[in-house]
Structure 1
Amino acid sequence: MPPTVSVVVPAYNNADFIEATLDSILTQTFSDFELLVADHSSTDDTWERIQCYAEDPRVRLMQTPAGGGAPANWSRVTREATGDYIKLVCGDDLINPRCLEQQVAAMAAHPQVVLSSCRRTLIDARSNTITEARGLAGLTGLQPGRTAARRAVIVGSNIFGEPACVLMRRDALERVGGWADSEPYVIDQQTYCNVLMFGDFYALPQSLASFRLSSSQWSVNLARQQSDQVVRFHHRLAAENPGLLSRADLVRGDNLARAMAYVRRLAYIWLGRKMTPPDSAVEQATV
């Protein structure tokens, strides 16, 4: 029988963190899941480090050919999923032991919910906490999907968090064509909003995932590119879903998205050395 949940991990040059990531998944209190890991032709020893997990019957390891950026690896590993629900966890992030248990319970209790999310903790390369209980922009419990998507636009930020925070119904993800790759820097948020056009959202106020900050994630140029892509995503969402967003919503959301990109850039500069792996002087770039 297919598992209830498919946890998929697209890995790329995550040798410093991949074992902690997989251990956080394999120690879940909810046991009916499969774990699929796809290494995207890493140039470090990520592939070698994950071989010790191959004997676990819940685990399947695979490789993705080089090229195509994050969308290629996310799509490749997701296509292999067989569970009713799907959670993507990047190769350096963590989930709380009760993450699957609590999210599956919430969605099983509300069949109209297509996506649930929780708050998350931001950690550095040494797994030290930087800040806790981030995300959701004040949303709690059951919410109409369109309301949640609109909220994300008008605050100019991904209120749903990184993929480790999110659990989706696999059939809903397939209905929207999988991971949206028109704006690669916001592949997660645009996919969430696409899914939320077809059902409700459930917000869990607990912090059940940890997102690891990396100093390679935010250059000045990247901040500019990301904010430009967020703005394009806002306007595409509005055009494809008439009545969802007003002109005022778009103006507010676009301005806040541009401002937030540079706020994040300044925060990464301030964190500086904290985001360097403890045993490595060389930063690993993410796909």
Structure 2
Amino acid sequence: MHQKHSNLPERSRPLVSVVVPAYNNAEYLEETIESVLAQTYENLEIVIADHSSTDRTLEIMNRYAGLSNVKLLSTEAGGGALRNWNRVSQAATGEYIKLVCGDDLLYPWIIEEQVSQFLANPSVVLVASSRDIVDAHNKPLVRNRGIAGMTGLHRGAAAARKTVREGTNIFGEPGCVLMRRASLEAVGWWDSRFPYLIDEATYIRVLLTGDFVGIKRSSAGFRVSDSQWSVRLAKQQVEQATGFHRWLATSRPDVVSSLDLRVGNARARLTSAQRRLAYVYLSRRMSRTNDRIAVMRPERSSASKQKDGSRS
């Protein structure tokens, strides 16, 4: 595997595990894996598990079978995201762990920057970077999204309170986040009691055990698809967000107060309404883009229409 030289000294390069729970990601999985291989940080392993995909995901995975630091696994069907996310995470052997969905992208510097923050701050259990929201063709729709001003070092409880009060996941998707593997294991791995918040709920449980660092520089690309342009989905997301906020306020009133709860739930509903409007706009924009590509590259458009945008 060819990689650029890391600026970190050899003795300061702990092993990082990048884990990829793949499910029907044939259209984008190669780009995702290549973005991991392109990291400036050198001492990493990649663990990929196919969750009984019905497309060419397994075929694409097998192209990387010859790399010594790539481990390929399979996960039985069923169990939703939780089964495959835990499968790849528990197979990781690194000191730090980053989960990347099989259609998202890492920018080359993200792991090196995030590891540097862990090395400089031994109390930190989670580091998050801002990201870009990109379309199916890697074109940015929204740039430098996330963190909500929480740059630098903060108490984990303060970061948890902030994300509740904002009414949205300020840490971003898993590809934006690097955690201590031991901390993730200590809280019982991924938490899917609120399925749409499997990432945010888990982050908060980890953050309540240590400190947080936020990096403002946009360092990942989160890909949106047609399957996410759904008013019904937005409604379910806000219902689960407010339910999670109530659970956290009840179980940890020292972290989330009744005022935090009221503010966070109001903002979650407002964010949901704004998201619905954004979905309409972005869906139309993506439709126009796909129509143009269909004229220029009809074979690519046909393949795109067959994509199952769901995540296991």
Query: TM-score normalised to the size of structure 2?
Result: 0.89
Where in structure 2 are the equivalents of 1:166-245 lying within 5 Å? 166-245=177-256
| C-alpha distance in structure 2 between counterparts of 1:224 and 1:191, whole Å | 21
**Unaligned runs of at least 5 residues, structure 1:** none
> Greater shift after overlay, 258-267 or 47-56?
258-267
- 2:155 counterpart of 1:131: no
TM-superposed CA distance for 1:247, in Å, is 1.1
- 2:293 counterpart of 1:282: no
TM-superposed CA distance for 1:283, in Å, is 3.6
Q: Which amino acid aligns with 2:309?
A: A
Tell whether the 8 Å contact from 1:25 to 1:97 is kept in structure 2 after alignment.
yes
| C-alpha distance in structure 2 between counterparts of 1:69 and 1:269, whole Å | 27
- 2:58 counterpart of 1:50: no
Three-state SS of the structure 2 residue aligned to 1:207 is coil
Equivalent residue for 2:41? 30
Deviations 1:157-200 (A, max 9, x none): 10000000000001111111110110010000000011110100
| C-alpha distance in structure 2 between counterparts of 1:77 and 1:217, whole Å | 24
TM-superposed CA distance for 1:223, in Å, is 1.2
Equivalent residue for 1:113? 124
TM-superposed CA distance for 1:218, in Å, is 3.8
Deviations 1:195-214 (A, max 9, x none): 11010000111111110011
TM-superposed CA distance for 1:155, in Å, is 0.7
Where in structure 2 are the equivalents of 1:94-109 lying within 5 Å? 94-109=105-120
Q: Across the two proteins, how many residue pairs are aligned to each other? A: 286
| C-alpha distance in structure 1 between counterparts of 2:125 and 2:183, whole Å | 6
Equivalent residue for 1:158? 169
| C-alpha distance in structure 1 between counterparts of 2:200 and 2:229, whole Å | 18
The share of aligned pairs that are identical, in percent, is 50
Q: Where in structure 1 do 4 or more consecutive aligned residues deviate above 6 Å?
A: none
Equivalent residue for 2:157? 146
Higher helix share: 2
RMSD: 1.5
Three-state SS of the structure 1 residue aligned to 2:218 is strand
Q: Which amino acid aligns with 2:148?
A: A
- 2:25 counterpart of 1:14: yes
Tell whether the 8 Å contact from 1:216 to 1:283 is kept in structure 2 after alignment.
no
Deviations 1:95-143 (A, max 9, x none): 1111110000111110100000000011000111112110000111001
TM-superposed CA distance for 1:3, in Å, is 6.0
| C-alpha distance in structure 1 between counterparts of 2:169 and 2:79, whole Å | 23
Q: Which amino acid aligns with 2:279?
A: Y
Tell whether the 8 Å contact from 1:3 to 1:34 is kept in structure 2 after alignment.
no
Q: Which amino acid aligns with 2:160?
A: A
Query: TM-score normalised to the size of structure 1?
Result: 0.96
TM-superposed CA distance for 1:268, in Å, is 2.0
Three-state SS of the structure 1 residue aligned to 2:238 is helix
Tell whether the 8 Å contact from 1:3 to 1:84 is kept in structure 2 after alignment.
yes
| C-alpha distance in structure 2 between counterparts of 1:69 and 1:217, whole Å | 17
